[in-house]
Structure 1
Amino acid sequence: MRPAYPRPGRTGFRRWVPSWRQVLGLLGAGFGTIVAAVGILYVLTDIPTDLNASATQQDNVYYWADGTEMARTGEVNRQDTSLDKVPEKVRWAAVAAENETFYTDSGISPRGITRAITKMIGGGDTQGGSTITQQYVKNAYLNQQQTLTRKLTEMFIAIKLDNKMSKSDILEGYLNTSWYGRGSYGIQRAAHAYYGKDVSQLDPSEGAFLASLLKGAGMYDPALGPKNHERAVERWKWILDRMVVIGKLTPQERAKYTTFPEPKAPPKPAGLTGQVGYLVDTARAYVSAHTDVSDADFDLGGFQIHTTFEKPKVDALDKAIVDVREQRLDPEKRDADKNVRIGAASVTTDGRIVALYGGPDYLKQGFNDANSGVVPAGGTFAPFVYAAGLRDGIQRERNGARTPVTPATLYNGDNKAAVRTPEGPYWDRAGKIVKTVNDGGKSWGNISLKEAVVQNVNSPVVQLGMDVGLDRVSRTAVQAGLLEESLGPQVPAFSLGTTRPSAIRLAGAYATFAAQGLHSEPYSVDRLSRNGDAVAVEKPTAERVLPASVAGAVDDALHDVVKRGTGSTAKTAGSDAAGKTGTGPDNKSAWFAGYRGKLVTAISLSRIDPKSQELLPLTGTGGTAPSVTGSTFPIDIWTKYVTAAK
């Protein structure tokens, strides 16, 4: 039925004035249209299946061995935590501050929404009027825009979410996705950022302050100025008082908290500068290789990586290398001092990697020289040849019986001694008999195997390798800890150290001698967790790879190297110091690998052409005479470091 309009029986302007019935009809029709539209929008609005990337991605946090934070990686500083790890009164502080009817409302606040819409109609924004559920929806599913459309969508999702999820799950999600300032998302990271503790250790007073930040960290972080401090104290008091009003804090408990819980000063950002980047990369690689965590899952974040790295030792190693570089290298004046690379690693006898030096600065040189497999081991490989001989004996006749050797067994130590096989002299491809050159061209005559190791005499070591069998020498080196892929070709020069181990691997292998024949694979992650829950990570167990008598004999020789041999300059590090110097083929590398007690450290020196990536000779590096081979840099760095690390 069509209403009569203009109204019959009326004259003048009264014909155009609607009756009260018409007004009510129009209002009813309008209201019905709005209700229908809202109903349609409600039906059409679904809960998103995926959270915002910013609501799911977290940072990964790396820790030093002592538990202090080393670095964070990831785009956001967030760490999720389960609700049961948040103290109950800390939870209630957030509820009292933001939505005290949270546990009884339907996910929305009609009064608050009306107020927000009124502000919008009046030309303001729609901020405010949000329940905890609505705030969680905004954090997790939507964006931070203040528009009517987003507000309505937020409201509809909140209603549906309230029917689908428990209040505990919603509160947990809210606390994990909220912004607390200082670069922190979630209450777990906020607890660390403001109080340097785990969320489980917060008291109600600290929880009340953190709850005040939910209103706007930029307004309530006391570190940002006196006005902020004043606002923070006022809101902190108000939240504690509200907790009393709603029965979640007794007056007696409230009386305990009269002093504002001053948060700590904002920490300096933990970055990847200096050595930290190399440490993070090493630990990250260990997680990838020794856990079931996929790279994609790891990149989503939320992991706490507790490493084996000890900051005092990392700092001491870095300082020792920097001091030697600055004091003895002058690349502006000497070409031989350019493109110098130093790699170093400290590994304990139980396999823990406690220090690395990967380069001058991770942000300037991303390549990790501590894990580089391009620097020939030189004389530091001799102990593996020696160990193989002591364990497996020698075979000088083809298919003949193997006979044992001892540290006192004599070998020819003359310069340019011909290398022999069971069939006679060893001939190279050019048709020449291979002869071994000793350092400085010195001939030693008959010399014991132990003394050959102590004095770094090449000819006995090369011949021993041939007599033992280079395949057995290789096996011994791998069992001790070197990687098979790093081994050099099995020709006589193999025993002179053509193998190219990383500093980490050489230190780990020397740890086998220090541990009397027990080997533990190097590792850099002590434990792993995700959002506080433990994640399984493989850790090595010690395995006997050499008889204690053999390892003991090598250990004895390495101690004598320092006491009276080529490593005597390391004596100042302590009477129990042991180690071995090494110079690579063609004078293209220098090493020192040694230990005191349970701390084993290997240091390499090389020069690498930046264009070809080929090794360059060390001739003249550090201002040495052209006739000098090798370098004292590694042993000097080792001595300085080990002395400081006592």
Structure 2
Amino acid sequence: MPENWTRAPVSWLADDPTCYRFADRPRWSPLTGPNIHDIERGELKRRWSLALVLSVAIAMIVATWIGLFGFLGVNAAYATFDRLLDRWLPQVEIEPTLLALPDLSRVSRVYTEDGTLLAELHAGRISEPARFVDVPKHLVSAILAAEDGDYFEHQGVDFTAIASAVRDHVTGVDRRGGSTITQQVVKNNIVGDEQTIQRKILEALYAIELEQRHSKQRILQFYMNSVYFGWSAYGVAAAAREYFDKDLAELTIAESATLAVTIRNPTLYDPRRQPERAEDRRNDVIDAMAASGFISYEAAAEAKEEPFLIKQPEPFQSRAEHVVAEVRRQILNDREFDEYFGVTNEERRQALFGCPAHEEDCEGGGGLRIYVTVDLDLQDAANRILRSWLPLPDEETTDSRGAPTGAIAMVENHTGAVLAMSSGLPFEQEQFDLVIQGRRNPGSAFKPFVLVAYLEAGGSLQSYWDARSPLEIECEDPCGPDGGYVWTVRNAGSVDDLLTVAQATERSVNTVYAQLSVLVGPQAIIRTAHKMGITSELEEVYSLALGAGVVSPLEMASAYSTFATNGSHARPYLISRITTDDGEVIYQRRVETTQAIEPVLAAAVRRPMERVVCCGTARRADIEGVPQAGKTGTHQAYRDAWFVGYVPNFTTAVWVGYPDEQISLENVVINGETYPRVFGGSVPAPIWKEFMEVVLDKYPVGEFPGSLGIGYYNELPFTEVPDVTGMTAPEARDAVLGAHLMAEVEEVLSPEPPGTVVASHPAAGLEVDQGSTVTIQVAGEASVLVVPALEGLSSQEALEAIQVAQEEAGTAVAIEILYQPTDDPGLVDRVLLTVPSAGELVPTDGALSLVIGS
């Protein structure tokens, strides 16, 4: 042992039996050798002093405190402490409850179900409290050597430090601490850091009492977990991770000493910005550790040779930043979490983020482990596919509109778990979440909800409807763009004049669905959409059937999943459970399902939606051999394009459009191909297919539930042939198609004005199957002569009657006279018969034969 050292026996007696003991360790005496405080003070700016004033002040303070503390050491009862407060600081009211060590904030973390870290959540205070027994001995030793070498010997106050504080106050120069660890705890958590004699006395009083109420180990553990190490790191565990990216158990002696150095002044000894200064102080601490007997001189020499390597700051990069943002939003705002985290925003923020770094009076909060349902493999695949199809605009982009983007939302059908929620734009560019917050016109992707409402109202998939375009539809309420009662609807392409509802679904025929919307009404459509999973408010307009409302991709995926499960809707969720750091479950999500629509109805609707993929507008989404269904959607002005599709186990919605406003997707380049117009089947559908192929490589596709009984929704309805006599041909055609019948026009000879319907077949009033053909007989354009009644007239009278009839009809026909012998003298020169007969028609180029008796 060096000649200038003295040895003092010390025992570390802890309440915890796992606590280790330092016994008979070397001690630096303030009379015989320097400690780390002396080393630091020697490096600071020299202070001028008034020798006489200082000597008197220090002598008085030290003598007074020695007497006071000796008294407190024997009489530490609460009443004694309160009396001393009244005696020394009668003007200060302090709650003794402040002596309880406050709960420390913790960092909250977001994980996927497989334990992959997505985010660390805090309010500028990165804190990871550790148990005392988990802190390595050499880190404890380094902190004691740097901050309070006599920690396990004093009763909370170091007289030398008090004298230093008095001296600094009297001189009025740069003030410094020098407090014991216990005093630092008191200063940081009870009395504050005002540089006054009064505050220093109060700090000392509380330090003494704090050590009477808590064990040394408990106070030291709190100190090591609460002290600030710089770079937002509070506590040894956070500091070890910040500077070395290590757990506490992995720290070396040199690294422990480096952490101890930063406590005194994280800015002055910043290992990143002041590496030389910090390394010098590190070595000083290592020397102090050896001199105090915490480590051997050999270990100290080896530790000082260790390179001074500090990890550069690396902000955590989440693989799913929009997911994390939604987690924050839900916990801070959703009423579902009221009972767990409070009802006010302030309560929620503290529960989630812990205390902000700047709020000294705040305590507790944070420390949550939040688990989400997102599958990172699928999330990454969705991001990759969207960026491949819809890359971000670069500097060479000349399109003033920018570049379109997309969104993919996927749910598990039976539970509602959100497995992917990818916005096409990176979070640093667009914080707005297109999957959940982005609400756009779904176009024809909204038609399945109209179909459900129609079938619930008694409709049939095999009912026939007028599918012509454009089609003027009369409404009971204002429905036209001008506020009128006539709604003119157009289809995107050409189709047959009459289609079944199933065919209209497969081919996405607007005119048919507009009629269904008028039939069932917008309120029924809204009720259906809401009970199936749409949560957005929808305006009561007939054009809802064509996508006039605004909805998010997640809503659409959730609602469509109802078809895959035969009408059972599972409410979507992202947060599956929340636990404390030690695994105690605070919140556990329970799957919530409702039978939104009848099972047979859901199965019936699924059939035409399957044909949309195999044979209709979404053929580019078809995955060979996979049971699937879905529906395309295209905004009327091509501003939004959708495909929402499902397999038995999963439903995915794909939206494509411009992110900031609705701009027409016309003449755009996507994935290297120029699209004059983007439809739901041209871009979203193949994106869906590419993504779902990844999904089905990882998860089983499953099987759709049974569809027994769907024949009820496929019965062919009857209808009545309308009376179209006297109508024009177009009017009659409209009436027949409006009666769910096919119309064929046949021109016939008629004395009626040309174009006038004179008859139909089948006849008016008969009941026939919908879709049957009705032949409409229409007066032709050619003039005809209606044969007058000529029998019994003389030949001259007959010719005169024919002449009058021809003049009235505006036509002329050939007259042929035939003679037939007769035995009756009264029939001679009389018309016996005509060919054609009376009342029949003779066209202009025809002939009328008269048979005359002779």
Return the TM-score normalized by structure 1.
0.72
- For residues 192 and 395 of structure 2, the distance between their equivalents in structure 1, rounded to whole angstroms, comes to 56
The answer to whether the 8 Å contact 2:632/2:685 transfers is yes
1:324 equivalent to 2:389? Answer yes
More helix by share: 1
Corresponding letter in the other structure for 1:619: E
Q: Which letter does structure 2 place at the counterpart of 1:106? A: Q
The higher relative CO (CA closer than 8 Å, separation ≥ 6) is in 1
1:317-341 per-residue CA deviation (whole Å, 9 max, x = no partner) reads 2222222223999983334x43645
Is the 8 Å Cα contact of residues 620 and 681 (structure 2) preserved in structure 1?
Answer: no
**Closer, same or farther in 2 for the Cα pair 1:187/1:641, shift >3 Å?**
farther
Could you tell me which residue of structure 1 aligns to residue 16 of structure 2?
A: none
User: Residues of 2 paired with 1:312 and 1:268: CA distance?
Assistant: 24
Paired AA for residue 282 in structure 1: E
Secondary structure of the residue aligned to 2:652 is strand
1:269 aligns with 2:315: yes
Paired residues in the alignment total 575
Equivalent pair of 2:257/2:285 in contact (CA under 8 Å) = no
Structure 2 letter corresponding to 1:483: T
Contact 1:112 1:130 in 2 (8 A): yes
Question: Corresponding residue for 1:69?
Answer: 117
**Residue in 1 aligned with 2:467?**
413
- How far 1:495 sits from its partner (Å)? 0.9
Query: 1:477 offset after TM fit, Å?
Result: 0.8
- Equivalent residue runs for 1:167-566 within 5 Å: 170-180=219-229, 183-187=232-236, 189-190=238-239, 212=257, 214-217=259-262, 268-270=314-316, 276=321, 278-287=322-331, 288-289=333-334, 290-292=336-338, 293=341, 294-300=344-350, 301-302=353-354, 303=366, 304=368, 305-326=370-391, 332-335=397-400, 337-338=401-402, 340=404, 342-349=406-413, 350-358=415-423, 360-390=425-455, 392=456, 394=457, 403-405=458-460, 407-419=461-473, 431=484, 433-440=486-493, 442-485=494-537, 487-491=538-542, 493-529=543-579, 532=582, 534-536=585-587, 539-566=590-617
Which deviations, in whole Å up to 9, do the C-alpha atoms of 1:414-437 show, x marking residues without a partner? 33345467x899878655633432
Deviation at 1:376, TM superposition (A): 0.5
- The CA deviation string for residues 279-338 of structure 1, in whole angstroms up to 9 with x for no partner, is 233112211202122321233323333333333333222222222223999983334x43
Q: Given residue 596 of structure 2, which amino acid in structure 1 is its aligned partner?
A: V
1:477, 1:233 → 2: CA distance? 72
1:569 aligned residue (620, 629, 633): 620
Per the TM alignment, residue 382 of structure 1 is displaced from its structure 2 partner at its CA by 1.3
User: In 2, Cα distance between the equivalents of 1:209 and 1:550?
Assistant: 72
Q: Which structure 2 segments of 5+ residues have no match? A: 1-51, 69-83, 297-305, 355-365, 698-854
Structure 1's 424 and 506: CA in aligned 2 closer, same or farther, altered over 3 A? closer
Counterparts of 1:116 and 1:424, CA distance in 2? 85
Q: Post-superposition shift, 1:216? A: 2.5
| Cα gap change, 1:224 to 1:569, in 2 (>3 Å) | farther
- Superposition deviation, residue 166 in structure 1: 6.2
Aligned to 2:654, the other structure's residue is in SS state: strand
Once the two structures are superposed, residues 250-288 of structure 1 have per-residue CA deviations (whole angstroms, 9 ceiling, x without a partner) of xxxxxxxxxx9x99966731257x961x32331122112
Of the structure 1 ranges 563-572 and 93-102, higher mean CA displacement relative to structure 2 is found in 93-102
The corresponding residue for 2:28 is: none
Q: Distance in 1 between matches of 2:373 and 2:592?
A: 15
Q: What is aligned with 1:621?
A: 668
For normalisation by structure 2, the TM-score amounts to 0.56
Aligned partner of 1:584 in structure 2 is: 635
Asked if 1:31 corresponds to 2:60, the answer is yes
Q: Secondary structure at the match of 2:314?
A: coil
Structure 1 residue identity aligned to 2:610:
H
Provide the C-alpha distance between the structure 1 equivalents of 2:609 and 2:588, rounded to a whole number of angstroms: 34
The alpha carbon displacement at 1:508 in A equals 1.5
Contact 1:416 1:436 in 2 (8 A): yes
**Structure 2 letter corresponding to 1:215:** A
Q: Distance in 2 between matches of 1:66 and 1:324?
A: 29
Equivalent residue letter for 1:185: Y
> Is this contact kept in 2: 1:275–1:359, CA < 8 A?
no
For the 8 Å contact 1:376–1:589, the answer to whether it is kept is yes
- Using the TM superposition, give the Cα deviation of residue 500 of structure 1 relative to its aligned residue in structure 2, in angstroms: 0.7
Displacement of 1:596: 4.1
How far apart in 1 are the matches of 2:598 and 2:578? Answer: 34
Query: Distance between the aligned counterparts of 2:58 and 2:220, measured in 1?
Result: 39
The more displaced of 515-524 and 494-503 is 515-524
Taking the aligned partners of 1:229 and 1:593, their CA distance within structure 2 comes to 64
Measured at CA, do residues 490 and 133 of structure 1 come closer, stay the same or move farther in structure 2, by a change above 3 Å?
same
Alignment partners' CA distance in 2, 1:295 and 1:404: 49
CA contact (8 A) 1:47 1:160 kept: no
Instruction: Give the aligned partner of residue 140 of structure 1.
Output: 189
Taking the aligned partners of 2:592 and 2:535, their CA distance within structure 1 comes to 18
Report the Cα distance in structure 2 between the residues aligned to 1:232 and 1:600, rounded to whole angstroms: 61
Q: Is contact 1:137-1:157 (8 Å) kept?
A: yes
Aligned counterparts of 1:106 and 1:572: Cα–Cα separation in 2: 77
1:101-130 per-residue CA deviation (whole Å, 9 max, x = no partner) reads 767753234466568889999999887854
Q: Find the residue that maps to 1:528 and give its secondary structure.
A: strand
CA pair 601-191 structure 1, distance change in 2 beyond 3 A: farther
Mean alpha-carbon deviation: is it higher for 209-218 or for 300-309?
A: 209-218
Change (3 A) 1:297 1:169: farther
Cα distance in 2 for partners of 1:564, 1:332 equals 37
Q: Offset at 1:28?
A: 12
Local SS of the residue matching 1:76: coil
Superposition RMSD in Å? 5.0
Question: d(CA) in 1 for partners of 2:213 and 2:590?
Answer: 42
Distance 2:312 2:117 in 1: 14
Displacement of 1:591 in angstroms is 1.1
Deviations 1:164-196 (A, max 9, x none): 556576445324312356642135545765798
Check the 8 A contact 1:79/1:531 in 2, yes or no: no
**1:424/1:370 CA distance change after superposition, 3 Å:** closer
| Aligned residues of 2:479 and 2:486 also touching (Cα < 8 A) | yes
The AA in structure 2 aligned to 1:63 is: Y
In structure 2, the CA distance between the partners of 1:559 and 1:404, relative to structure 1 (3 Å rule), is: closer
CA contact (8 A) 2:272 2:312 kept: no
